[in-house]
Amino acid sequence: MARARGRRGGGKPGKAGGAKRAGRPEPLEDLRGRIDAIDRKMVRLLNDRAGCAIALGRIKKARGLPIYQPAREEEVLGNVQKSNGGPLQSEALRRLFERIIDESRRIERLATDGSGAPAADREAGPGDPKD
């Protein structure tokens, strides 16, 4: 038993707890680190998406098209739900993307009303450059 415990703990016998075992993060720390990395990727992707929305807004304005296009939004939401493999429920993804689309519409309007997208809305930081 002591041998298995030593392997799993990776540390010296009798040493319990601590933030790391044998130089490896605890499962809690590891998962939090993974979530932080995923969040940074999501921020980059959402900003990429926002850039596309701004460009689309300018094209729509040039062509005299409305920013709000409910049929297209439904198509996007349907695509998201069809591509879902879980564990999030499709309705949860739909709600998340409805909010993303709302924000996309808002920045399209800001970018096309003549004032441009406010610089304060986009904070430059070390994660901003594209990888």
DSSP labels, 74-104: HHHHHHHHHT--SSS-HHHHHHHHHHHHHHH
The answer to whether position 77 is within a domain reads yes
Q: How far apart are CA 100 and CA 123, in angstroms?
A: 18
Confidence of residue 116 (pLDDT cuts 50, 70, 90): low
Residues 56, 108 contacting (CB under 8 angstroms): yes
Tokens read off for 125: 């930081």
The number of domains in the chain is: 1
**Is the pLDDT at 131 greater than 50, yes or no?**
no
The answer to whether position 72 is within a domain reads yes
The answer to whether position 126 is within a domain reads no
Q: What CATH code is carried by the domain that includes residue 35?
A: 1.20.59.10
Confidence of residue 18 (pLDDT cuts 50, 70, 90): very low
Alpha helices (H) along 1-131: 2-9, 27-63, 70-82, 90-112
The answer to whether position 13 is within a domain reads no
Q: How far is CA 116 from the centre of its chain?
A: 24
pLDDT in tens, 42-54: 999 999 999 999 9
The answer to whether position 105 is within a domain reads yes
Domain that holds residue 56: 24-113
Calculate helix-pair angle for 90-112, 27-63, nearest 10 degrees. Answer: 50
pLDDT in tens, 56-85: 999 999 999 999 999 999 999 999 999 999
Tokens read off for 57: 């807004």
The answer to whether position 36 is within a domain reads yes
